[in-house]
Chains A and B, each alone.
Chain A
Amino acid sequence: MRFHCSFLVTLSVLLSASANAADDISFKRDVMPIFLKNGCNAGDCHGASRGQDGFKLSLFGYDPEGDHYRLMEEHPGRRVNLAAPEKSLLLTKATASVSHTGGELFTAKSESYDLILKWLEAGAPIDPDDTSLAASIRFEKKVHKFEKPGGALKTKVIATYDDGSERDVTRWSLFMTNDESVAAIDELGEITTSKAGGANVFARFDKFTVGMEITVLPEGNFEWPNPPVNNYIDELVFAKLKDLRIIPSELSSDEQFLRRVTIDLSGTVPTPGEYQTFMASDDPDKRTQIVDHLLSRDSFGELFAAKWGEWLRNFTDTNPEKGTAQKAGWNYFEWIREQMVENTPVNEFAYALLTGNGSNFTNPPSNYYTMIPQGKVDPIRLSEDTAQIFLGIRTQCAQCHNHPFDRWTIDDYYSFQSFFTGVRRKHGSEAREYFTFVDVDAEPAKHPVDDRLMPHKFLGGEYADVADKDPRKVLAEWMTQPGNELFRENIANRIWAHFFGRGIIDEIDDIRISNPPSNAPLLLEIGKRLGEDYKYDQKKLVRDICLSRTYQLSASLNDSNKFDERFFSHASLRRMRADVMLDSLNAALDYQAKFRRSSAKKAIQLFEGGRSDTNNSYFFKTFGQARRESVCACEDKSEANLSQALHLINGHTIDQALQRNPKVIPYLMNQHETPTEIVEALFIRALTRKPSETELSGILKTIPETQDRSQLHRAYNDVMWGLLNSSEFMFNH
């Protein structure tokens, strides 16, 4: 039976591989793909919003009926000449037999030409309503492994139509790769490889995009070292590494681990006391113990609250018409912090936000609907940002056309927007207060092409029954259920990225077919665990991650993994976030920072991040703290740059804590007798480690042999200044 089916499919593919008879030519099935393949309807050609040279096509072909109208009826007889089809501008322009800004796209002997000509000869008809249209596409092979660099493979793309038929559409498909240095793909779908590694190639046809996973193995012998496995994360990561013939780094040292996990879970460097306790312990389980200890502290929740505050755009304005008064932002911040500190399941957290109703004071989650728009309630903004925050999907492209690199269509976009068209806002009991509520009788969104009312439909899901209900609740219930892969994998990926500096899908809020996970089984598993096993208790997933060997690997590279940046074969160097950096600096110097108009003791406790803290605004700006101008996670910049180095060298941040408010150095000089002890203490404060012999001997030479405390003070100041200006301090590693 299986043989029988596959035979029929193959036969069907062969039979429908090309259109042979004029009456077989379909505008949507045959002609539109030619426009896409040849770039006619691309954004830099006739797909531009104003068209090109007086002729406009829908971008990437989202509106075939509109395109047919513009060809046939916008200027009758100009673009299509049914009396002499071969003289139609449609053909003469494409073959450059008349002047064409886009040049020659195909020749008169090409299949494209033949198909269009036959369609014209048949009277250029629009398709009847029962014309079967593409329902999906696929690569013939989903994965392929090359045994060594240099190999090539001819791919095939097959489209499945809504009548069940299939068709080879390789020649009408567009191709791309996410790592040309590993695997390139040409316009005919032939893959060529250059070096070892993993990559994905993609094909686009009609409104669909599919990917194919490529592995290129290195040459030479490979022996998997069989490193110990702590949990399922290691199993999945190591399976991928083994498959790629990448050997992971060694386990990090206790000092490295302590520093790394403390920064990641507390948002600051370990205290000397924490260092001494941890290093003195010979308990084989001490790494587990410190993870559990750090997870139990409020600072873990505060750190994640700071991140959510950025993703949710919590920032305030004194303009009462915006509904984002400082009190609203303050209450919102407190609520987010509380959810994180009390470890509210993430799905409940998201549900509360999406269904936020009433007062932005007494029901802080309703600030979701004032902070995101930062002005007038806008269903466009709300739907786009909701998709990005909770599903990791950027739907913006589909507002005007079908997404060129993903599966989202205009219909998907407006059907999703319908969940928010009823959101309303009004003044509350005072000028600062706003009520958010929903008009359940509000019309759904209209399709921009034909003004159709778009029924509520989940992204990638079914149509929703919202009759006499708050559509947001219906959406929230769908979104936050344990089985929603989009939601749970997005949250899991965001959590993962916090500990590795990049997501399994990266960027974390740009999940799309053309940006696939670097380790799909891993993302699938942590998402499943988070949603189904842990009931969205994020601390459990965080604990799994921190206790995995993968997380605890050293940042030191070996020959095998020195080029790996995607598969987690080693710890990555991660510059600390701006707020974490400031808190770490102050912690190392035992300095209590002052924040403008705030009682916060740490930067991660600032209610709208560094936006309103003019005391440290330059620091926050220089170190790339999110401005909260969008929900994009990319706003939080972690690149290192010269300005940062110069600020640490010359700026007021270190100077203020080290020179003007000296605390640490006098304390250490009173506590310790020898320069060695003091230098060691400074290393522990700044770098969570003791100095090497070389470092120690070199530094001791700079400490004068004198009893003059002020002279000694200056010398130790210099040592600490140097440590804080080192890359080792700035980075979590």
Chain B
Amino acid sequence: MFRESSLGRAHLGLFMQQRLSISRSNRVCSSNEQGWFVWAFRSNRVGSANRPYWFVLAVLLSAVLGRSQEETAESIIPQIGQQGTEVTALVQGTLLDTAEEILFYQKGIACTKIKQLSEYSWNGRTEKAELGMAIQVTFNIAKDAKIGEYFFRIRTEKHLSEMLSFWVTKFPVVEEVEPFSTKNDEPEFAQLVPLNSTVVGYQPQGPPNDFDYYKVKLSAGQRCTAQILSARLGTYHYAGLTDMALEVRSPSGKRVARCDDSPLFSQDPMVSFIAEEPGEYLVLARQQMDYETAVRHYALHIGDFERPAVTYPLGGKAGDELTLRVFLEDGEEKTEKVKLPKSVGEFEEALINYGGDIPSPNQLKVANFPNVMEESGHNKPENTQSIGQSLPVALNGIVEKEGEKDWYKISARKGERYRVRAYARTLGSKLDPFIWVRPAEGNKSSRLYEEDDSLWDGHDWEGHHYRHQVKDRLDPVFMFEPDEDGDYLIGVGDTRREFGKDYIYRIEIQPHRNTIFTHFPPYPSKRDITRDVINIHRGSTFSRPIAIQNGFGARYDGPMTLEAKGLPADITFECPVFTKNDLVILTTFSAPYDADLKCGLFELIPKPVDEKANLSGAFAMTTGATQRRGSYDMVFNKTRFAAFAVVEEAPFSVKLEQPKVGLAKDAELELKVTVERKEGFEGAIYAEMDWVPPGLTKQPPMVVEAGKNEGFYKISATNQAKDGTYQLSINCRENEGGNVRTGLGFHFVAAPFIEIKVLDPYLTIELERAAIEQGKTGEIVGKINHLRKFEGVAQGILLRLPTGVELVEPAKIESGDETVTFKLKVAEDALVGQAKEISADIEIKDGGQKIHQQSGDGVLRIDAKRK
């Protein structure tokens, strides 16, 4: 029943390789400036396949999903491989026919081959694969590659793809037998898998729910742990929710373990137990509910390893040796000594080789300040535990009894701002922490804090919808701002009054530092993943708005600019000086014609203009990975790096003509767009500004007609616009030939920056009320208030005149005139009554440009004809 890999190694990659005719390829290796290795590959685009089984999976996926094919890289199957092996996998998407290179975000995996696939087989049928819809990639996974997730993108000749991820496991990979040969959806057909392996499983579109039964041989007293990796694989590209459950039964049919969600991995379950009897244990992997109608896949790690669920404490001081209490998933508790690294941050290596090879790490927090450990008996504000040292500090404890609150006494200074961050759910603890802060006896402070949960911005991650809820948000994050020097009491408990030995907390209290983060803002009506790259055509400019986000509690409001750290020298990055109030700024990236085709990672770091300012910043991008219905993301891909690619030349380039005059408030300015076409390209060009500053408005997209090289694009300023000089660009693409929703298939080319100066209006006009009889002529007089001098004679007309009223002729205005008179002719049948909101539109010529200035709010009464 169990089809071990054909080489007898239970190794999917080798198994696949054996079934494919892999052609030779040219391979190059490069590294970018951050030291991030990028294995680049030029495919010889030979497309043939020997009906591999994983093709069946791919086709099954695409067939049942009715895919939109709107993404370059839509899926990769399998999505996991073993350390130290070579793995082949299928990538499906569109426009992959020119795939040239894989850009990994982390070190440890190299792509050694890319092969075009032109056909597939399914259920005995062989069908053609459309050009560019499927490629085979070969990954060489280093022996010391970290276990876990690796983000990557695919560079084609034209663009850089969306982000996908590939995972690395310690264990040999075994393929689920279903649906190719024997079904394993009944206990009697359970697939025997060796201990310490990773099963790659698939669940076809339900319902009915696909029950995948596996069995493992255990001896009495042997430990068995099974854990699922599914939601974390990311189903965004499949547009379906995966939420699995595990259940284990003994040889005698007794249920020995089951799990739906786990504190450590949220939707992905894990179980661990000690076998009471020898024999074959059934492991059932299934979706918790059979409500979803999408294909899902998973990796099931199963073995005799010990599974640490959580540790106490949850972190420590950099460089210290910690004695950890390790709480295993099967209920056992052990002790382990761990040497913490000297660098501050997240530490995942502590238990990775603990008690065997665990397939995914636990995380410890490493700080540059010491731990304080809970002492028993301090459960009331009247009986607190003095921490015996100054801040910063990390409080560590366990809520072991119902209703227990642990109280500590700390000393804090007036005027300081302390960031208090609880770690519990974030790191797999079952505690739902609640924190109280109050002044100690004798302290006259009025500060009282009662904090339960945290907002997303407390975690300094952006690029998502605000409603998204993740387990980290159950841990409070808040700013403690003492208004008196002295002692304060800090209490910790569980919001739900739950308790237990694994209800562990760590509360870090440290002085706050201003932070500013950048990320790609959501693109209007477009999915984030399709536009979160910098895709520069050789010889062109690429523009992209960048969002500026205050870090939690940040108060820095000085001027800043962005540093594009890690960009190659031949790429020019331009960015205006901005402040945190700008929220979004426009940046451009330009590459010369002779730039190499390449891709890489870089950071967009906010830097204060004042180098002495207390500010740190980073790029922090969060992209939804697994969604449930209603577009609620449940799993996020997080990265501190943006990706760029230099790709083939675009068939055109574009420029905005620098206007010689500024943009007056309440005025409109026409910008000239010039297109330079490459030979052979005559098509229409679609142009739109992606961003204008607040107070400015832009016209809807305009089209430069086929064969023409000029167009005009209007922008205007309201009287709310702020004075200043702004850098603007316009983004252009072909008018047809690509996917309008995702942008795929188009060349996006931006104009180099021009500068627009927002100025006061030339003049304002106050229109006097007027009355004219039907059939008569009359006039509206406006009082002119000159604000800036202009040359020559301006012409004025009136806007929003009622039906039946005509302006006899445009009025003339010269600089210095105090009034202007608009002559009107009222028709016999004009409607009697008042017409409001009449305004004047003054066309001024300045610097060779026409400027339309609007002003006034007049009222005209039409009287009935006298008899």
Contact = CB atoms under 8 A, between A and B. Distances in A.
A432 B498 contact: no
Given A435-B495, A470-B497, A427 B432 contact: no
Given A357-B498, A358-B496, A431-B628, A331 B471 contact: no
B497 A331 contact: no
Contacts of A470: 497
Contacts of B496: 357-358, 435-437
Nearest to B241: A327
Interface string A325-360: 011001100000000000000000000000001110
Contact of A430 (B209, B267, B432, B498): B267
Interface in B240-296: 243, 260-261, 266-267, 288-291, 293
Interface string A98-124: 000000000000000000000000000
A358 B261 contact: no
B288 A430 contact: no
A112 B207 CA distance: 72
Interface residues of B, number: 35
Interface string A465-499: 00010100000000000000000000000000000
A431 B468 contact: yes
A427 B403 contact: no
Contact of A597 (B293, B467, B469, B497): B293
B261 A361 contact: yes
Contacts of B293: 597
B288 A428 contact: no
A440 interface: yes
B495 A426 contact: yes
A97 interface: no
B432 A597 contact: no
Contacts, number: 87
Q: Which of B207, B291, B498 has the most CB of A within 10 A?
A: B291
Q: Which of A320, A468, A597 has the most CB of B within 10 A?
A: A597
B1 interface: no
Contacts of A595: 207
B263 to A, nearest CB: 8
B126 to A, nearest CB: 32
A326 B403 contact: no
A578 B447 CA distance: 61
A429 B264 CA distance: 11
A599 B630 CA distance: 23
A598 B289 CA distance: 8
Interface string A586-608: 00000000010111000000010
B290 A597 contact: yes
Contacts of A598: 207-208, 290-291
B467 A440 contact: no
A426 B471 CA distance: 12
Interface in A354-372: 357-359, 361-362
Contacts of B288: 327, 330-331
B632 interface: yes
B474 interface: yes
A338 B733 CA distance: 59
A438 interface: yes
Contacts of B237: none
Interface string A168-187: 00000000000000000000
Nearest to A326: B291
Q: Which of B207, B425, B471 has the most CB of A within 10 A?
A: B207
Interface string A388-431: 00000000000000000000000000000000000000111111
Interface string B190-212: 00000000000000001111000
A617 B288 CA distance: 24
Contacts of A320: 467, 630, 632
A343 to B, nearest CB: 16
A330 B209 CA distance: 13
A52 to B, nearest CB: 49
A429 B266 contact: yes
Given A429-B425, A431-B469, A599 B474 contact: no
B306 interface: no
B104 to A, nearest CB: 29
A440 B469 contact: no
A361 B497 CA distance: 17
A361 B496 CA distance: 15
Question: Taking chain A's interface residues, is the majority helix, strand, or loop, or is none over half, making it mixed?
Answer: loop
B261 A429 contact: yes
Contact of A438 (B453, B470, B497): B497
A598 B632 CA distance: 22
Interface residues of A, number: 31
B304 interface: no
A437 B291 CA distance: 28
B634 interface: yes
B497 A357 contact: yes
Given A428-B474, A429-B471, A437-B495, A597 B261 contact: no
A318 interface: yes
Contacts of A361: 260-261
Given A437-B495, A597-B207, A430 B453 contact: no
B452 interface: yes
A359 B432 CA distance: 11
B629 interface: yes
Given A357-B496, A357-B498, A330 B289 contact: yes
Contacts of B206: 597, 599
A599 B205 CA distance: 12
A377 B528 CA distance: 36
A440 B497 CA distance: 9
Given A357-B497, A358-B498, A440-B403, A426 B452 contact: yes
A427 B289 contact: no
B497 A435 contact: no
Contact of A331 (B260, B290, B432): B260
A599 B632 contact: no
B599 to A, nearest CB: 34
Contacts of B629: 318
A426 B243 CA distance: 21
Interface string A76-106: 0000000000000000000000000000000
B207 A431 contact: no
Contacts of B290: 597-599
A257 B645 CA distance: 78
Given A320-B632, A599-B206, A430 B266 contact: yes
Contacts of B634: 430-431
B261 A362 contact: yes
Contacts of B468: 431
A429 B431 CA distance: 12
Given A361-B260, A361-B261, A429 B474 contact: yes
Contact of A435 (B260, B432, B470): B432
Interface in B576-624: none
Nearest to B289: A330
Nearest to A595: B207
A320 B627 CA distance: 14
Interface in B289-343: 289-291, 293
A598 B630 CA distance: 20
Given A429-B266, A468-B403, A598-B208, 6 more contacts: A330-B291, A431-B469, A431-B634, A433-B469, A438-B497, A599-B207
20 contacts: A318-B629, A318-B630, A330-B289, A357-B497, A357-B498, A358-B498, A361-B261, A362-B260, A426-B452, A428-B471, A429-B474, A430-B266, A430-B470, A432-B632, A435-B432, A437-B496, A437-B497, A440-B403, A597-B207, A599-B209
Interface of A: 318, 320, 326-327, 330-331, 357-359, 361-362, 426-433, 435-438, 440, 468, 470, 595, 597-599, 607
Interface of B: 206-209, 243, 260-261, 266-267, 288-291, 293, 403, 425, 432, 452-453, 467-471, 473-474, 495-498, 628-630, 632, 634
- Give me the 6 closest cross-chain CB pairs, A-B, nearest first: A437-B496, A599-B208, A429-B471, A330-B289, A599-B209, A431-B469
